[in-house]
Amino acid sequence: MAVTLRDVALAAGVSPATASRALDPDASAAPRTRDIVRQAAEDLGYAGNSAARSLRTSRTDTIGLLLPDVRNAFFTDLAYAVDKAAAEAGRTVMIGNADEDCHAQDRYLNTLAKHQVDGLLVVPQGGASVTLRKVVAANPTVSIDRDAGLGVPVIASDSAGGMGELVDHIVALGHRRIAIVAGPQSTSTGRERLRAVAVRLSQHGIGLGSEYLVEGDFQLASGIAAAQQLLGLSTPPEAIIAADALMALGVLTVMRRRGVRIGEDVGIAAVDDTPWFEVLDPAVTVVAQDTAQLGEKAVAALLDRIAGEDVDTTPIPTRLVIRRSLGETAPSPSGESPLGSPIDSAPGSLGESPPDAPTDQRNGRATTQPIRLRNPGRTVGESTFTTHNSEETTHG
Amino acid sequence: MAVTLRDVALAAGVSPATASRALDPDASAAPRTRDIVRQAAEDLGYAGNSAARSLRTSRTDTIGLLLPDVRNAFFTDLAYAVDKAAAEAGRTVMIGNADEDCHAQDRYLNTLAKHQVDGLLVVPQGGASVTLRKVVAANPTVSIDRDAGLGVPVIASDSAGGMGELVDHIVALGHRRIAIVAGPQSTSTGRERLRAVAVRLSQHGIGLGSEYLVEGDFQLASGIAAAQQLLGLSTPPEAIIAADALMALGVLTVMRRRGVRIGEDVGIAAVDDTPWFEVLDPAVTVVAQDTAQLGEKAVAALLDRIAGEDVDTTPIPTRLVIRRSLGETAPSPSGESPLGSPIDSAPGSLGESPPDAPTDQRNGRATTQPIRLRNPGRTVGESTFTTHNSEETTHG
DNA sequence: CTGAAAGCGCTTACAG
DNA sequence: CTGAAAGCGCTTACAG
């Protein structure tokens, strides 16, 4: 059916062994032979058979990426970054969706194992299941975002630092009754973010009452349920921190339906940024994770791991993007952030082109230059990665 | 290294052939033998080697899904649906991201070809490239959403119908100066949606001036550029239709920055729904596609195609979700849609549980019952699939 | 630089 | 019901 190496060899008048070498840039072959074989391969439309190849070499040049929820933009951004970094390293990524379900996770893990991926990138959910442990033991693995106690390197953001900054900011704004819609305590990020908030709060002499702590599951519905609970309290919080964007969306949904004025009646802040947060009125203050760097570092770490080298697991700094959802004062309705200079005048990757730079539409591929952000929010923190929004603008 | 069938056979005291049969539910083996072999496989942690298996059988039980942009929620929802349907059919999905780049698309197509996927699901971009044609010729393929003239079945929404309904609605609202941020005219959806709008407009005796037509590329930046252009016109449009959610987001971003009041100064509507549209104030009126059905049908079609059967390519109805971004009047700020009955009282899948149904958080998996939607917007059209929002709520 | 040969792990007619 | 054998397509020591 499909064209085999044998066919190519026959057409080129050489042995399959020579054809194989001629097609392998790292093998030795006479330049002349190389040309002939390549031509034959081209002519016949030879694609190769990766099953045969990997059966022989026990390598697949494929890495598996196990995600808890493909519909969560944070993971999608991560997948994007991983895919990009992997492609640059000549690896293909197989994305698996656990659908926030341990069963589905195990199922996918098994497929990946069968497929002999060279390595595994996992954002584990729940504890370390038996299947997870088994597969991890058999494959070079790096964990991203979450630490499930697998004994593998973990590439993650410095959640604690980010949450600390956020709490400082909220307290500085004068809020005292602060609630958190936490992530599932079965995840390290869920635990870590909650812990960091509680600790920093107590450093400010503020307690975290049990009625102000609701555990969600990082998905939309749990944010809705949590907001209903918090907003129904006889003394509702002044500010709500949501441990991810989806739960924040749930909270926002309830606020809107109940006519609660965001930033006035109750403030809200979230972990993870999305372009949507900037379009809301008021725009939502967030602790942004650097998904691009997370993805790059994870791939690099896995490659190191496969090569048997040490990996760098320094946490990646987050970035506090201050907008107006916590009642931050603003000089003008459509104006700039009152707290910092607009990005137009900031050093760095933006502000090169005029705000009205048109989109070049040939071939459906935009080559738009970066556009100045009039209301980007102020940035606090060490990192200098571009905002989600400017990134979208730049890469779009 | 890894456990092979041979190891299992040895441990079970049978031949590899028998071991293979014992592990295959469809092969014949003595019940006793079956048990022993299964036990041995279990004990040794036998996973199988899919490379060897597919080399032998020339099947991989894998299907490839080629997406133009993993960061576009529409495609992500589609991927989710495809993955789910494929899993139910015992297939694993390899997701490839073309990153809106024909080069990346070709690269991925080649990997998929090498990996001997059983079939291909593609959302093509640009024209039918040589590589695309080649790979499509060599593999059972079904196109989703877009028709690139590949001569393969296309599973898509009835865009034209949806756009027609939307235009009727906009015109009924009294708008006459109507602009469109169209998708790239290199895609069938881009062309189709534009054409449907123009045609229906002209049926209402309304022309589509060239200054009111901007071509985007389905990505965020092009929506920003388009809005800058449209809003800078001496006579700006009364209503803007964006051909997808990302471009709508771009338009909304510019509106917000310029202080343009949505639905009052200028109305906006989009194709594709996302939970974010409902949280915006005013919530955005959309033509929603049924990604769940799109995914299911596509997988079914591919399976049929692989089996050599005929496939059903009836377009899937879209659904007009009327909210308030076009200046639809509303009786109360947080209230129900004025145009129809609230979903609470509508027949169908919603309204079973009390609005405050709590989230069950054991194991990080929410089991929340559907929550009544107070502001779901009225639904027009034939289809009865659940809204994006209620879906999230239900599945969350 | 090139060819003949072995073998990766599996499945499946072919006998029995 | 079971085993011995062949072979899927490729790569790579081993000779030459």
- What's the pLDDT tens digit per position in A69-98? 888 999 999 999 999 999 888 888 888 888
Which nucleotide shows the minimum CA-to-C1' distance to residue A28? C1
Do B256 and B298 belong together in one domain? no
**CB within 7 A of nucleic chain C:** A 14-18, 21-22, 28-33, 52, 55-56, 58; B 1-2, 4-6, 16-17, 20-21, 23-24, 27, 46, 48-49, 52-53, 55-57
pLDDT (tens digit per residue) in B171-221: 999 999 999 999 999 999 999 999 999 999 999 999 999 999 999 999 999
Residues with Cβ < 8 Å from B308, sequence gap 6 or more?
Answer: none
Q: Are A206 and A178 in contact (CB under 8 A)?
A: yes
Tell whether A217 is covered by a domain.
yes
Nucleotides in chain C with any atom closer than 7 Å to protein CB: 1-5, 7-13
Pairing of strands A285-288, A319-322: antiparallel
Contacts 24+ apart (CB under 8 A), B10-14: B11/B40, B11/B43, B11/B44, B12/B36, B12/B37, B12/B39, B12/B40
Distance from CA of B101 to the nearest CA of A (A): 7
Tell whether B284 is covered by a domain.
yes
Tell whether B317 is covered by a domain.
no
Say yes or no for a CB contact (<8 Å) between A279 and B253. yes
**B-chain residues within 8 Å CB-CB of A47?**
110, 113-114, 138
Do A236 and A283 belong together in one domain? yes
Structural domain of residue A70, as residue ranges? Answer: 62-157+292-306
- Stated in angstroms, how far is B114 CA from C5 C1'? 26
Q: Are B150 and B161 in contact (CB under 8 A)?
A: no
pLDDT at A1: 62
Of B233, B256, B288, at which residue does a domain stop? Answer: B288
**B-chain residues within 8 Å CB-CB of A279?**
249, 252-253, 256, 280
Q: Count contacts between A and B (CB, < 8 Å).
A: 270
- Stated in angstroms, how far is B54 CA from D4 C1'? 22
Angstrom distance (rounded) from CA A285 to CA A328: 9
pLDDT at A352: 34
pLDDT at B139: 87
pLDDT (tens digit per residue) in A158-179: 999 999 999 999 999 999 999 9
Say yes or no for a CB contact (<8 Å) between A225 and B368. yes
Do A108 and A132 belong together in one domain? yes
Residue B307 CB: number of other CB atoms within 10 A?
9
Start-end of H helices in chain A? 5-12, 16-23, 31-44, 50-57, 73-88, 102-114, 130-138, 159-172, 188-203, 220-231, 245-258, 275-279, 291-306, 388-395
Tell whether A57 is covered by a domain.
no
19-48 of chain A touching strand D, CB 7 A cut-off: 20-21, 23-24, 27, 46, 48
The DSSP element (H or E) to which B16 belongs, if any, is helix B16-23
- Whether the per-residue pLDDT at A28 is higher than 90: the answer is no
Do B367 and B271 belong together in one domain? no
- Stated in angstroms, how far is B187 CA from C7 C1'? 48
Q: Are B91 and B148 in contact (CB under 8 A)?
A: no
The domain total for chain B is 4
What is the helix, strand, coil percentage profile of chain A, to 5? 45, 15, 45
pLDDT at B108: 83
Backbone torsion region of residue B263, taken as left when φ is above 0, otherwise alpha when ψ lies between -120 and 50, otherwise beta:
left
Do B97 and B68 belong together in one domain? yes
Angstrom distance (rounded) from CA B178 to CA B169: 12
Nucleotides in chain D with any atom closer than 7 Å to protein CB: 1-5, 7-13
The chain-wide mean pLDDT, for chain A, equals: 83
Tens digits of pLDDT across chain B (396 residues): 689 999 999 999 999 999 999 999 988 889 999 999 999 999 998 988 888 999 999 888 888 899 998 889 999 999 999 999 998 888 888 888 887 778 888 888 888 877 778 899 999 987 778 888 888 888 899 999 999 999 999 999 999 999 999 999 999 999 999 999 999 999 999 999 999 999 999 999 999 999 999 999 999 999 999 999 999 999 999 999 999 999 999 999 999 999 999 999 999 999 999 999 999 989 999 999 999 999 999 999 999 998 888 999 999 999 999 999 999 986 444 433 333 333 333 333 333 333 333 333 333 333 333 333 334 444 444 433 434 443 332 222
Do B22 and B94 belong together in one domain? no
Which residue of chain A has the CA closest to B368? A221
Tell whether B328 is covered by a domain.
no
- Whether the per-residue pLDDT at A241 is higher than 90: the answer is yes
Closest C-alpha to B84, from A96, A92, A67: A96
Of A224, A255, A288, at which residue does a domain stop? Answer: A288
pLDDT at B330: 61
**B-chain residues within 8 Å CB-CB of A251?**
none
Q: In what order do the strands lie in the sheet with B267-271?
A: B213-215, B178-182, B239-242, B267-271, B285-288, B319-322, B378-380
Do A149 and A217 belong together in one domain? no
Q: Are B325 and B283 in contact (CB under 8 A)?
A: yes
Do A67 and A164 belong together in one domain? no
- Whether the per-residue pLDDT at A126 is higher than 80: the answer is no
Q: Are A256 and A280 in contact (CB under 8 A)?
A: no
Do A28 and A105 belong together in one domain? no
- Whether the per-residue pLDDT at A390 is higher than 60: the answer is no
Could you tell me the CA-to-CA distances from B44 to A134, A159, B37 in Å, in that order? 11, 40, 11
Closest C-alpha to A306, from A81, A89, A124, A146: A89
Q: Which site among A65, A80, A115, A395 would you substitute to test the B interface, given the most B Cβ atoms closer than 10 Å to its Cβ?
A: A115
Do B197 and B229 belong together in one domain? yes
- Whether the per-residue pLDDT at A13 is higher than 60: the answer is yes
Q: Are B100 and A364 in contact (CB under 8 A)?
A: yes
- Whether the per-residue pLDDT at A345 is higher than 60: the answer is no
What DSSP string runs through A76-95?
HHHHHHHHHHHHHTT-EEEE
Closest C-alpha to A358, from B255, B228, B186, B194: B228
Tell whether B316 is covered by a domain.
no
pLDDT at B362: 32
Say yes or no for a CB contact (<8 Å) between A275 and B116. no
By mean pLDDT, which of A61-70, A194-203, A295-304 is the weakest? Answer: A61-70
Do A253 and A363 belong together in one domain? no
pLDDT at A56: 93
Q: Between A98 and A316, where is the model more confident?
A: A316
Do B168 and B274 belong together in one domain? yes
Closest C-alpha to A334, from B262, B257, B263, B265: B257
Tell whether B360 is covered by a domain.
yes
Q: Is the peptide bond before B282 cis (omega within 30 degrees of 0)?
A: yes
Task: Give yes or no for CB of A315 within 7 Å of strand D.
Answer: no
pLDDT at B1: 62
Q: Are B177 and B237 in contact (CB under 8 A)?
A: yes
Angstrom distance (rounded) from CA B367 to CA B92: 26
Residues with Cβ < 8 Å from B240, sequence gap 6 or more?
Answer: B178, B179, B180, B181, B227, B230, B251, B266, B267, B268, B269
Could you tell me the CA-to-CA distances from A153 to A93, A190, A291, A303, B391 in Å, in that order? 19, 19, 17, 12, 36
pLDDT at B337: 38
Distance from CA of A115 to the nearest CA of B (A): 5
Distance from CA of A150 to the nearest CA of B (A): 18
Tell whether B57 is covered by a domain.
no
Residue B47 CB: number of other CB atoms within 10 A?
21
